[in-house]
Amino acid sequence: MAFLRPVLMTKVGVIGLKTDRETILSILHDQGVIQVEPLSKPTLSIFPAEGTPDVQRQVADELLRIRGIKSALPPTGPVVPQAFPTRDGLLVAARAIPIEGTVSALKKEEERLQTERKSVADLVDLLGRFSFYTGPLDYLHLEHLLSFFGEVPTERYGALRAQISAMADVTFLESPGPETVRFVLAVNSDQAEAVSRLAQQRGVVLTSVPPLKGTITERKPELEKRRAALDARLSEIRGQLAGLAKDWYPQVAAIEEALTIEARKLDVYGRIGAGETVFALEGWVPVRSLPKLDGALSVATQGRTVFYKVPTDEEPPTLLDNPKWVRRFEFFIRFYALPQSDEWDPTWLFALAFPLFFGFMLSDMGYGLVILCFSLWMIAGFPGRQYVPGPLKGFLKRIMSPQAMQSLAWTLVPASIVAILFGWFSSEFFGPISNYSTVVLPGPHWDVRSNLGDLFLVAGFIGLTMVVLGFTLGALKAYYHHHRKEMVARLAGIAIAFGLTFLGLQLVSKTFQRLLGHLSLTAPTPATVVELALLVGGIGAIFYAEGGQGMLALTEILSHILSFLRLVGILLSSVVVAILVNHIAGGLYHSGLAGSLVLGTIFALIILIGGQIFNVVLAVFEPGIQGARLIFVETFSKFYTGNGKPFRPLSSTRVRTVPTTIGFATAPAPPPPP
């Protein structure tokens, strides 16, 4: 685990005998610690590119065929990992699967019957909705006549009928209903296109009357019988596919996984160089993994493999390695920008600051509990999601994918717990408890509204801490990269931040005036002298490092520190909304509405529940967005570049196969980036 830094990477080359190539590639794959790169120019001058082997096409063809079989079979059977020691043996096993023809025929028939079944079901539904037409259907299909079924809201039908009748010679047969009017429309074929266009402009869909003979009451039972026959045959086909899956799915799935792995290993051949008897490949490897990888290759090839370091100025790929609870917050970092491999990994900083900021801005036990329960529901896989209203479900899906929602939920769990703790400290439960209840909870009862000055002071010091921390990390980064002037500018930022902050506190805060003395330039106190020295020295240093442009840092540093005062602003807005909702609801409950206590109680519940739901939604978005923004903009901007390239090792996730290199100290592959 690398604290605050991505895993240190190095570029290495591997030279081995061509007779050992398959073994070497298998070990590299099963170790999962090398990202294979195209050969460097010096290596290519010795080992020309080899090209794609013929067996790659064979593996690709078999993989395509086996995937087709697997996709047609319903997943079933126990997961018993299988071993395929050689590629030739794997290809033989794949070609020995005898069910391709049967599965293909059944699947094609199933798709054809599903298409027919949908057509028949749509036709049954159409005839059922327009069963008011009792005449023969073939009367609606004359040589110069086209007929349509239509449905329109009752309040719009009169205007639509008048507009269509004014432009074409039409006949209507209608069935009025309380909400909609269903109608049959017959029109001359040369006017049908204009009528259809007008209906479409009015948001009405006209459906051509199906070319059937006889009446609806005659045809509908026949179609229903055909639908039942199709359902029976589809059920029979699915049963046959399930029977085949019971016998063959585990084997097919294992072969598909093994072929996928082989295809990935063969894809590396396009980046390999080879001579008559030896080959070479190059790639990025974590420094910590080199000894184990070297040892595994040496044992497997009996010392016939050579490692060498590749000198390069390329930017290494980035591999983050954080503890599991910190790794949950990589969701935000990757969304913002993956760090470069030679800069700080800010995940730790975000994982510590975000829950504190979120909880501080929320500071309510009730809202915290709601968000905590909602987060746990998302983490559990959305149980009972079928009961969620469709519009709400669609809104959530438009915001982010279910997987992203689960990643976000993991980060909201500690944030909501902090909100509950702060809420207990300030005695807030869907607003200040003292405003609507005589119940006294144990705790300090630190009222937010009565201590705004102290809260703003705390927020200011949080801002100073985060800004100074950002400058400190920026100075260390510049030091390690030997950027002297940049380091001076970052240190100057720290001096200016302290100087501006304490000069301002001496000017506006009575507490700091008692501690540090009144701000006076004619008779400055020792504290004032230190503050002025920090400010003047910082300005001089930043002018030296960045010239006149650096003077903009004065306003930027001050604005970034003051920006953290929004922590209190958002907290206060949430409290005010909760008080307002509770006050209005309480007034209606006690005083009634229009002289009715029952009516007042009903409206009080509507306002209370609706208003608190609205505040919960704000409690998720405002603290979440503003908390992340404070970290990204006011802190990360001091040291973070981003735009790193993710580390993509040669590896695969094995579920149904076992590695063939178990005896050579194989290691599980690192988790792929989300």
The 3-state secondary structure of 138-191 reads HHHCCCCEEEEEEEEEHHHHHHHHHHHHHHCCEEEEEEECCCEEEEEEEEEHHH
Write the pLDDT tens digit of every residue in 307-324: 889 999 899 999 999 999
463 found inside a domain: yes
Mean pLDDT within 243-268? 94
Q: Token digits for 255?
A: 């072969």
Write the pLDDT tens digit of every residue in 217-234: 999 999 999 999 999 999
Half-sphere exposure in the Cβ direction for 425 (13 Å, CA): 12
Write the pLDDT tens digit of every residue in 345-393: 999 999 999 999 999 999 999 999 999 999 999 898 888 877 777 777 7
Q: Give the range of the structural domain holding residue 502, as residue numbers without chain letter.
A: 451-564
Mean pLDDT within 290-300? 91
pLDDT at 1: 58
What angle, 0 to 180 degrees and rounded to 10, lies between the N-to-C axes of helices 347-362 and 597-629? Answer: 150
Domain boundary among 204, 228, 252: 228
Beta bridge mates, 286? 9
Nearest CA to 140 out of 153, 152, 126, 155 is that of: 126
Domain boundary among 195, 228, 261: 228
Give the domain CATH number at 217: 3.30.70.100
On whether the CB atoms of residues 666 and 26 are closer than 8 A, the answer is no
- How many whole angstroms separate alpha carbon 333 and alpha carbon 642? 9
147 found inside a domain: yes
545 found inside a domain: yes
Q: How many domains does the chain have?
A: 2
DSSP for residue 313: -
pLDDT at 443: 67
Strands (E), 268-350: 273-274, 278-286, 306-309
pLDDT at 13: 94
Sign of the dihedral through C-alpha 517, 520, 525, 530: positive
> pLDDT band for position 505 (50/70/90)?
confident
Q: Token digits for 623?
A: 């603290």
Q: Which run of H or of E encompasses 290?
A: helix 290-301
Tokens 């920090």 correspond to 534
pLDDT at 351: 94
Phi first, then psi: give them for residue 173, nearest 5 degrees: -125, 120
542 found inside a domain: yes
Write the pLDDT tens digit of every residue in 159-211: 988 998 888 888 888 898 888 999 998 998 888 889 888 988 888 889 988 88
pTM of the entire structure? 0.78
> pLDDT band for position 663 (50/70/90)?
low
pLDDT at 672: 43
Domain boundary among 228, 246, 263: 228
Mean pLDDT within 103-125? 95
| 642-645-647 Cα angle (round to 5) | 130
134 found inside a domain: yes
Nearest CA to 578 out of 447, 428, 371, 372 is that of: 428
- How many whole angstroms separate alpha carbon 204 and alpha carbon 101? 46
- How many whole angstroms separate alpha carbon 472 and alpha carbon 469? 5
551 found inside a domain: yes
- How many whole angstroms separate alpha carbon 260 and alpha carbon 617? 44
9-41 burial string, b = 16+ CB within 10 Å, else e? bebbbbbbeeebbebbbbbbbbbbbbbbbebbe
Q: Is 295 helix (H, G, I), strand (E, B) or coil?
A: helix
Mean pLDDT within 233-255? 95
204 found inside a domain: yes
- How many whole angstroms separate alpha carbon 230 and alpha carbon 124? 14
Mean pLDDT within 26-35? 93
Neighbour count for residue 267 (Cβ, 10 Å): 15
209 found inside a domain: yes
